[in-house]
Amino acid sequence: MSYEQITTPLDGLVVPGADGDARYGIYDQGAHTFAWRPDGQRPVLWVSGSTHLEPGKAVRGGVPVVFPWFGSGRSGDQQPAHGFARVHPWTRDSVVDALEENGTLSVTHTLPRKYAEQLTDEFTCELKVTFSPTALELEMTVSNEGSAPFSYEQALHTYLAVSDVRRVRVLGLEGQSWTDTVPGADPGPHVQDGPITIDAQTDRIYHSPNTVVVEDPDWQRSIVVAKDGSADTVVWNPWVERAAAMADFGDHEWTQMLCIEAANIGDHAVSLDPGDMHTMSQTITLR
Ligand code: TA6
């Protein structure tokens, strides 16, 4: 097993499986993980068949890195949506290839400071992604290199592949407080009563550090999303109308995916004093 450099549609690395499909994959743009598929398994990450795959445009699927704001930010007027990190090429600093030894590949990227033209803050943002046959681990570390406090929002906006989103259950957030961000909905706060099931457009910020389990009976698997350094978990499915309104999202694809996102948003934005750093990590496994 070995990795290959790719230059189209975007620069990055891929580890092809026996069938030629990507087992592991990451683009340099946005340090964007686009594939993780353990042996004998279906893909764990979902990517739209209609996604853009061109420089400067966000990829619809995989794990977009949301930084330094979520959505339109705490001011409500920040552009681009979900920050600039995901639409620029990051510097690929290191690749640790242990594929022959144990099937593991670690890739570390940093976000070039020049793309943060809207910010005066001095910071570094690094993402280390470790692919293995049993886990996908993402570690996002931000350091304050300046002389003033630096505050940011973040998310690992993970698109999980499911058999049919109407038939999965999400466990681990029972009793947790959540905010409804569906346009026109009562934002709450609400308290989660029992497992989460999806029967309409769903766009929620759970204010919880808990591990989440997505039970998928039709595919006879559960996807476990554990995290550290994250106070919020976003749960999103666009459902019919929202999916149809997105050019980079196939009209019928909404049943195939569910976003479970480790995040720090709003009141949980991270504030770093000069010289401080913070790591948010997300580890995905199957059971
Ligand atoms: O994380 C959920 C969310 O904020 C949704 O409201 C929806 O906008 C989704 O992200 C996708 O955002 P994007 O900018 O990638 O189209």
Average pLDDT in the chain: 97
Say how many Å lie between the CA of residue 71 and the centre of ligand 1.
Answer: 7
What's the confidence (pLDDT) of residue 99? 97
User: With a 6 A CB cut-off, is 137 part of the ligand 1 pocket?
Assistant: no
What's the confidence (pLDDT) of residue 62? 98
Say how many Å lie between the CA of residue 101 and the centre of ligand 1.
Answer: 38
* Percentage of residues of the chain with pLDDT beyond 90: 94
Q: What is the mean pLDDT of residues 76-100?
A: 97
What's the confidence (pLDDT) of residue 154? 98
pTM over 0.95: yes
Among residues 79, 137, 131, which one has the least CA distance to residue 103? 131
What's the confidence (pLDDT) of residue 264? 98
Helix (H, G, I), strand (E, B) or coil at 141: strand
DSSP 86-131: GGSBPEEEEEEEEHHHHSEEEEEEE--GGG-TT----EEEEEEEEE
Residue pair 176/208 in contact (Cβ under 8 Å)? The answer is yes
Cα–Cα distance measured from residue 268 to residue 252, given in angstroms and rounded to the nearest whole number: 34
Tens digits of residue pLDDT in 229-267: 999 999 999 999 999 999 999 999 999 999 999 999 999
Helix (H, G, I), strand (E, B) or coil at 196: strand
Token output for 206: 């759970």
Phi–psi pair at 115, nearest 5 degrees: -85, -5
Tens digits of residue pLDDT in 117-173: 888 889 999 999 999 999 999 999 999 999 999 999 999 999 999 999 999 999 999
What's the confidence (pLDDT) of residue 272? 98
Secondary element (H or E) of residue 235: strand 232-237
* CA nearest ligand 1 atom 10, residue: 71
Phi–psi pair at 124, nearest 5 degrees: -125, 145
What's the confidence (pLDDT) of residue 110? 98
Token output for 69: 């704001």
What's the confidence (pLDDT) of residue 1? 83
Say how many Å lie between the CA of residue 222 and the centre of ligand 1.
Answer: 24
